[in-house]
Amino acid sequence: MAAPATPPLAPTARGVRNVVFVEGVRTPFGKAGDKGMYAGTRADDLVVNAIRELLRRHPELPPERVDEVAIAATTQTGDQGLTIGRTAALLAGLPKSVPGFAIDRMCAGAMTAVTTTASGIGFGAYDIAIAGGVEHMGRHPMGEGVDPNPRIIADKLVDPTALVMGQTAENLHDRFPEITKERTDAFAARSQEKYAEAVKTGKIGPELVPVATRTKIQPAERSSSVEGGGGGMDGLGWGLATEDEPPRPGTTVEQLAKLKTPFRPHGRITAGNAAGLNDGATAAILADEDTARELGLPIGMRLVGYSFAGVEPEVMGIGPVPATEKLFKRTGLSIDDIGLFEINEAFAVQVLAFLDHFGIADDDPRVNQWGGAIACGHPLASSGVRLMTQLARQFAERPDVRYGLTTMCIGIGMGGTVIWENPAYNGSEGAK
């Protein structure tokens, strides 16, 4: 008996479409904890500010044309819970007809929010989406309230160090002894220097969304203004966050060499060569390229491909390497085709492991040219869109560069990489 014929495709079926990154914004990043600038600010309000700013910057985008809102958070509880993509959409003033969802891939939450909604756009399920992430590590420290299955350790699925990110970074140093503490401290100092220069020259700043904050004040100050706001009887005053809180301009290698190594006696990971605990949010508009042109939305960059890969959780920092190799195989590109890199600086050792693998110098000017998370901070699930936002703005200045890459390591042993194409590329060979 002959097999039944395959039914024809439905008339509405679509081929893969080009996906573009329109624009990304972020709040200034704060230090986590009671003394941080967001200590009295809700996590959901942070990401709502970012979404509202996107809509304000793009009046050509009718709010009802947004098909999806995907917001990531690593600790999905409290003011980072309740399907935050949906609640943030409502609070931002999007029509109630616009759906939303929450997503979690630890540090790569916002990156996954982008790739997931981009896949829907490419398939034809959406025309326009908003994707981003938020992390308030002051209110929700990483790992708060989790209950790891004891078999993860008892059955020797992972080493106990796999659940502490700083210890996984020490493990990475063990695996690659040529990556010395001196190299990581030098990389960290350069990150601070490049970030400070980028702020001074206006490279970092235009993407920031000012955020009204509630700040603790001393009783004697309650009747006076605090950063432009009055003090209340509750001991809180209004403030305005306009710049990143974590950076330490002027940091030297000599200063970094004196810091304690909290994860191991005489170790190599310090507060100076790793990103800190931070609060902040990001959001970006993604669109089908034809729809973007129809509405007059700018095209910051075009998605080429993405890939995620798993590695041993004990050395999660190596994750960007297999993720990138996997993506090169799928796209037919190579490391020589990449003209700009935005690599998340969770730990300096993780970035250097990536650079060593691909034969790139520690101080290559293509890498994190405006500094990175060691300077500005890493509010976990939000950081992927920060990388993309910076790359898109760098593309606009570099028509000689055709392809750029955003990549990051991910807790519990993963890596994620996204390759983007510069729509301003003019065909020159300056990138190489």
Query: Which DSSP helix (H) or strand (E) runs through 250?
Result: none
Of 136, 173, 376, 409, which one is the catalytic site residue? 409
Residue 376 backbone dihedrals phi, psi, to 5 degrees: -90, -15
132 contacts: CB under 8 Å, gap ≥ 6 = 24, 47, 50, 51, 70, 71, 72, 110, 113, 281, 282, 283, 284, 382, 385
Distances (CA, A) of 92 to 179, 198, 343, 345: 45, 30, 30, 30
Q: What tokens appear for 224 in the block?
A: 């006076």
Distance separating alpha carbons of residues 150 and 366, to the nearest angstrom:
43
Distance separating alpha carbons of residues 141 and 35, to the nearest angstrom:
15
Q: Is 376 one of the annotated active-site residues of the chain?
A: no
Neighbour count for residue 387 (Cβ, 10 Å) = 26
Residue that has been written with the tokens 């009887």 in this structure: 233
Of 136, 140, 173, 378, which one is the catalytic site residue? 378
**Beta strand segments in 289-374, E:** 301-310, 338-343
Distance separating alpha carbons of residues 46 and 32, to the nearest angstrom:
14
Distance separating alpha carbons of residues 94 and 51, to the nearest angstrom:
9
Distance separating alpha carbons of residues 383 and 371, to the nearest angstrom:
13
**Which residues is 19 bridged to in the sheet?**
288
Taking a C-beta distance cutoff of 8 angstroms, is the pair 183, 197 a contact? Answer: no
Distance separating alpha carbons of residues 382 and 73, to the nearest angstrom:
7
Report the relative pairing of strands 229-230 and 225-226 from DSSP bridges: antiparallel
180 contacts: CB under 8 Å, gap ≥ 6 = 268
Of 107, 136, 140, 173, which one is the catalytic site residue? 107
Distance separating alpha carbons of residues 338 and 126, to the nearest angstrom:
29
Write out the catalytic residue numbers. 107, 378, 409
